[in-house]
Amino acid sequence: MELLLVLLTLVILSASIVYVLLQDWHGTANRLFSLFTGSSLLLTCAGAVRFASRNPDEIWWLSGLLTSLQAAIFGLLIWLIMILFMPHRYHQPLVRWVTIAPYLLMAVILAIDWYGRFGFIGSDVLREETGILRFVRGPAFWPVFALYIIGCIVTPLIMLSTIAVQHPATRGPVGWLIGGTTLTFLMGYVFRELGMVAITYVSLLPLHLSFGWVTLRYGIFRPSQVALQAAVEHLPDGMLVLDTQRQIRYANRAAQRIITGNDRNQQSFEQALAQVGFIEQTSTEDRERQRRRFVRPTDQTILLATEVTINDAQGGASVVLIRNVTRAEQQQAELIASRAVLAERTAELERSLAELQQRDELLRRLSLPIIPLSATMVVIPLIGIFDAARCQSLLQLILPEIAERNAKTVLVDLTGLTAFDQTLAHTLYQLRDGARLMGTQIILCGIHQIWPR
């Protein structure tokens, strides 16, 4: 019977290692699980050999190995729980090594005390007439045993229970692991004290069977599963999984920061949002874009929710992505307001420019008045000094007026000139040539004196 139990345990543990490595042998979680299972495999073999041996020295050597190996195995279990359910902590080197350091220290202390024959914890192992092996306990046995129970049994159970409370979506796999850890404790210690030695051969088997079921049922060791879970947990947007009754079955960290209720797993998505003060204000544009808008009036927080329905063999579910667009909406509103102000200022500048142009045109016309004498005759008095700019204005103003009035004679009065230079003379020649093309005669009058400049 004992041999069959040992063989069964060896087959199950070996198959677990092969299965997990075939899933994804590159994955850190898969390799760590294989190391944990391989250590359990070694522990099972060493325990079976120790029980079957009749050599006292061999029993003594194997007993020291078993105690130290058990401490190391449960340290690996703590690491395995961290990388599966708290990968953000596992990937912090300081946290990772501080977590396993007590287990490694315990393994080293047990080995030194046993093989150094100090006898503080245990010094020898004796086989009773019933076949049960009894340790010769030292003065520090019970304090160390209490620490052993706390570190190897209580700590994993507390970690798993805390994870199940904080992350409802993990309650399924965590529940199985809690059950496996509890049965491992019962089979390893209680049944041994009851004299059921054969069951102690497979003390770690319930824990590994629970890992096997979790692997098959929830696929936690599938390729890139841990990396995918870590990526989802660290998404900046909230992600929720809803069942067919729209109750929340999973929420990543970003979603948990928005939906803070402790009983959110018992509420629908809409109820959970309403509990924290959000009111739906979905507009027609939002419906066209297949999204929903929720606003919290107290702090003007705005959420956009996009939902995708998934149907598979296990039933229907919905995945909801929620994004906090409060800052983006504020920036967009500020941008629109800035554009409105800019457009208003641009219009004001354009109006000012038009007014300036009108004033310039008025001043130009006032500086070059056109006085009609008859239907076909006008007079243009030139007053002041004509520089290049005024000469150009003279051409631009007079020629169109001649065409518009259909004037045949234009009298250019030079009486008001204070200076007459080459530029003005050239301009008058151009004015004459241009008027001649339109059939108009230019006559200079009021010439009383010429001042060269």
CA dist 261 and 263 (Å) reads 5
Which residue type occupies 352? Answer: S
Long-range contact set of residues 134-140: C-beta below 8 Å, sequence gap at least 24: 135/63, 138/113
> Are 428 and 444 spatial neighbours (Cβ–Cβ below 8 Å)?
yes
Distance of alpha carbon 177 from alpha carbon 163, whole angstroms: 12
Q: Provide the token pair at 275.
A: 């509990």
Structure tokens at 78: 């703590």
pLDDT per residue as tens, the chain (453 positions): 556 667 777 788 888 888 777 777 777 778 888 898 888 888 888 877 877 777 888 888 888 888 888 889 889 999 988 888 888 788 888 988 999 999 999 999 999 988 888 888 887 777 666 556 677 888 888 898 888 888 888 899 999 899 888 888 788 888 888 988 888 877 776 666 665 555 666 677 788 888 877 776 776 666 555 556 666 777 888 888 887 788 887 788 888 888 865 454 567 888 888 888 889 888 888 888 888 999 988 888 888 888 888 775 555 678 888 888 888 888 888 888 888 889 889 989 988 888 887 777 666 666 677 888 888 888 888 888 888 888 888 888 888 888 888 888 989 888 888 888 888 889 889 988 888 888 889 898 887 655 454
DSSP 8-state code for residue 287: H
Pairing of strands 279-280, 248-251: unpaired
Report CA dihedral (324, 330, 336, 341) to the nearest 10 degrees.
Answer: -170
Is 407 in a helix, a strand, or coil?
coil
The backbone torsions φ and ψ at residue 136, rounded to the nearest 5 degrees and listed phi first, read: -85, 105
Cα(384)–Cα(121) distance, integer angstroms: 121
- The CA distances from residue 427 to 382, 399, 421, 432, in Å, are 12, 12, 10, 9
Nearest to 220 by CA among 315, 96, 320, 83: 83
Residues 267 and 372: their CA atoms lie apart, in Å, by 91
- Which residues touch 24 (CB under 8 Å, ≥6 apart)? 30, 221, 222, 223, 224, 225
Cβ within 8 Å of residue 375, ≥6 positions away: none
**Helix or strand (DSSP H, E) at 283:** none
Q: Please count the other Cβ atoms lying within 10 Å of the Cβ belonging to residue 121.
A: 22
Q: Please report, in angstroms and rounded to a whole number, the separation of the first and last CA atoms in the chain.
A: 132
The contacts found for 33-37 with CB under 8 angstroms, 24 or more apart, are 33/80, 33/211, 33/221, 35/76, 36/73, 36/76, 36/77, 36/79, 36/80, 37/13, 37/208, 37/211
Cβ contacts of 29 within 8 Å, gap of 6 or more = 80, 83, 84, 220, 221, 225, 226
Q: At what angle do helices 56-85 and 171-185 cross, to 10 degrees?
A: 160
Residue 112: predicted pLDDT: 92
E-assigned strand segments in 205-282:
238-242, 248-251, 279-280
